[in-house]
Amino acid sequence: MDEWPAVAVVGAGAVGCYFGGMLAQAGAPVTLIGRPAHMEAIGGGGLVVEKAAGCQRIPVRATSDMAGVHGSQVVLFSVKTVDTETAARQMGPFLSPGATVLSLQNGVDNVDRIYAATGLRAVPVAVYVAVSMSAPGRLKHAGRGDLVMGHRRGWPPLSELEPLAGMFKKAGIPCKISNAIEAELWAKMAINCAYNAISALTRARYGSIIGFEPLCEIMRRVIAESVAVARAEGVALDDPELVEATFRLGEAMSGALSSMAQDIGRGRATEIDSLNGYVSRRGSALGIPTPANDTLSALMKLLGNAGVPRPV
């Protein structure tokens, strides 16, 4: 991709701001679309990105109006999974013909839900990054920042994704194209199932979690259940390899607090139904016991229903 395409980020929270900000910093014309408080702060003073090496201020267009999508050739769709259908329908009327939508979301079924709601074939992307919004317009990066993209079986050929991967790489974002994106999404979800709810329930960061053996054993059970359900769905995953990858990620992102913990801290709805809850539901439908995922899902729903915001 020799010239930068126009990029819109729908759902410019922490993940959307990170990747949109990286593209904007590299020279891409980017429009962030998100919550008014963040967009007003970014529009007035730029996106502030805190990294270990220091702070950067990135000028980038920001709006809370979905009409900001108009004219964009690439859309990074990074809304919370609870908002997938609603945001997709709101976005639809403003999409330019031929625009490519990339789903940078947790879970495994977002592109199917987008398609069911709008008829749009979005590109599924597995995201690995530890980021949080520390204040309006201010992003804190704690680790990684890479992507894996692919197409559902029977959807357009992988070669169509090469310019998009090139766009990210040009901005310094590692991006791999996978011919088994379902396995990538399930692997990422299993890792999320292992960390997110535990981090939210205990307020612990990843390094502390993997440093406590009783929790490590629970994480192994969560992953084993997730792998069993994935295999029953026709997605081949390797249990020992995934466990190893999960603990490696905890070491690489030891300072990370899960997005679910951040949601609880801000009194917002969590994505539990797209993570442990999804494994639990599919396991029940397929006759596969998932007690560890069942327990974490139930505890998270109780915590969320308590409705008591806790400081992050």
Q: What is the pLDDT of residue 159?
A: 79
311: pLDDT confidence band, cut at 50, 70 and 90? very low
138: pLDDT confidence band, cut at 50, 70 and 90? very high
Distance between CA atoms of residues 238 and 225, nearest Å = 12
Same-domain status, 32 and 108: yes
DSSP string, 92-141: GGGPPTT-EEEEE-SSS-HHHHHHHHH---PEEEEEEEEEEEEETTEEEE
Same-domain status, 96 and 241: no
- Range in 30-39, 95-104, 145-154 with the lowest mean pLDDT: 145-154
Q: What is the pLDDT of residue 312?
A: 37
Q: Are 293 and 284 in contact (CB under 8 A)?
A: no
The whole domain housing 130 covers: 7-179
Element (H, E) at 220: helix 213-232
Give me the mean pLDDT over the 45-65 stretch.
Answer: 95
Q: What is the pLDDT of residue 310?
A: 44
Distance between CA atoms of residues 293 and 291, nearest Å = 6
Same-domain status, 65 and 12: yes
309 pLDDT more than 60: no
1 pLDDT more than 60: no
Model pLDDT for residues 97-135, shown as the tens digit of each residue: 999 999 999 999 999 999 999 999 999 999 999 999 999
CB-based burial label for 211 (10 Å; 0-12, 13-18, 19+): middle
Residue 2 domain flag: no
For residue 156, how far is the Cα from the chain centroid? 23
Which amino acid is present at 307? Answer: G
Domain end call among 179, 196, 230: 179
158: pLDDT confidence band, cut at 50, 70 and 90? confident
Give me the mean pLDDT over the 68-95 stretch.
Answer: 97
Using the CB atoms, write b or e for 239-261: b if 16+ within 10 Å: eeebbebbbebbeebbebbbbbb
Same-domain status, 186 and 128: no
Residue 122: partners with Cβ closer than 8 Å, 6 or more residues away? 77, 101, 102, 103, 110, 111, 114, 115
Instruction: Sort strands 54-58 and 138-149 into parallel, antiparallel or unpaired.
Output: unpaired
Q: Which two tokens stand for residue 39?
A: 């967009």
- Report percent pLDDT > 70 for the chain: 96
- Report percent pLDDT > 90 for the chain: 88
More confident residue, 143 or 232: 232
